[in-house]
Amino acid sequence: MHDVDLVIIGAGPSGLYGAYYAGFRGMSVAVIDSLPEPGGQISALYPEKEIFDVAGFPAVKGQRLIDELVAQAAQADPLFLLGESALDLWHGEDSVEVVTDAGTRVRAKALLLTGGIGTFTPRELPVGDGYLGRGLRYFVRRLDEVAGHDVVVVGGGDSAVDWALALEPLARSVTLVHRRPAFRAHERSVATLRASSVRVLTPYEVAEISGEPHVGEVVVERVKEGDRVALPAQTVVAALGFIADLGPIRQWGLELRKRHVLVDRSMRTSLPRVFAAGDISDYDGKVRLISVGFGEAAAAVNNLAPLVNPAFDTVPGHSSDAA
């Protein structure tokens, strides 16, 4: 059993910033995350990708951002419970208690949910059976792992376009394959892609992967017309999105909108002493950006502060005024 003022579920950007900010407000903090290291989706899926919409950074690689957030959160001396999933939530008169799948119990005056999209698994490439780990991957942890390769990136969203652009300077060749003529990625990224040396094949889809023991060739087929193109490839990056699941949190009695937790203007959920911030939260006009999540985490901490200690005001003052 651990007793703290605030327990945070989710060690992504919003959760890490929430841990720092709770410490700034004088609270003790525990942070729970099912992944073995802090950083959430960023560390797990795109640590080497450049992020462009975080205030103060014209561009910052995902892992560097996480490293800086961890260092900032360290000022609060949080208790990290990593590699543990929150299973059950219990309500007391003046506290909440979270039980993890490892049997750890954390009692706190308030709970902040910053679990992003929950647990996530990649959408599989239909013709990729048997090649996972043998040239097929769903994300690239280290860009230099595929330096000098012929790379085929599959998908039309931000992740696919970002991977293609990030790999262009390192790979021998990069081909982006998307089954629709239009991309879902940000317009600026698509414009940069069109101006790059990346070969773009639309509307095509992957029809066949071959090679032993590793990927050696990818055959793509034009949608409807059926004509085929064979591409040399040692790496296939299938950036087809992820299937998200809130897991046990869905059974806690929270008011949900699809897979998101509804909150009011104070980031308060439908359950007493439970708040939410970042991608997991939802309200009319919600914008899912890392920068927005930071503000939501600070708002949540300030609004839950009087629950932790009645002497705490919701108006925090400025960090520059602190000794």
* Beta-strand pair 29-33/79-82: parallel
Please, where are the H alpha helices in 186-231?
A: 187-194
- CA 212/CA 227 separation, integer angstroms: 25
- What DSSP element (H or E) covers 272? none
CA distance 100 to 92: 17
Residue 244 β-bridge partners: 120
Q: At what angle do helices 158-167 and 187-194 cross, to 10 degrees?
A: 40
Return the closest-CA partner of residue 77 out of 4, 1, 14: 4
To the question of whether residue 72 is assigned a binding role by annotation, the answer is no
3-state helix, strand, coil in the chain (%, to 5): 25, 30, 45
Annotated binding-site residue? 139: no
Per the annotation, does 46 bind a ligand?
yes
**Is 144 assigned a ligand-binding role in the annotation?**
no
User: Residue 223 is inside which H or E element, if any?
Assistant: none
Region label for 127, one of left (φ > 0), alpha (ψ between -120 and 50) or beta (otherwise): alpha
- Contacts of residue 307, defined as CB under 8 A and 6 or more positions apart, other chains included, come to 109, 110, 273
Q: Was 33 annotated as part of a binding site?
A: yes
85 belongs to an annotated ligand binding site: no
Instruction: Say how far apart CA 286 and CA 159 lie, in whole Å.
Output: 21
Known binding-site residue numbers: 14, 33, 41, 46, 86, 120, 279, 320
Known binding-site residue numbers for FAD: 14, 33, 41, 46, 86, 120, 279, 320
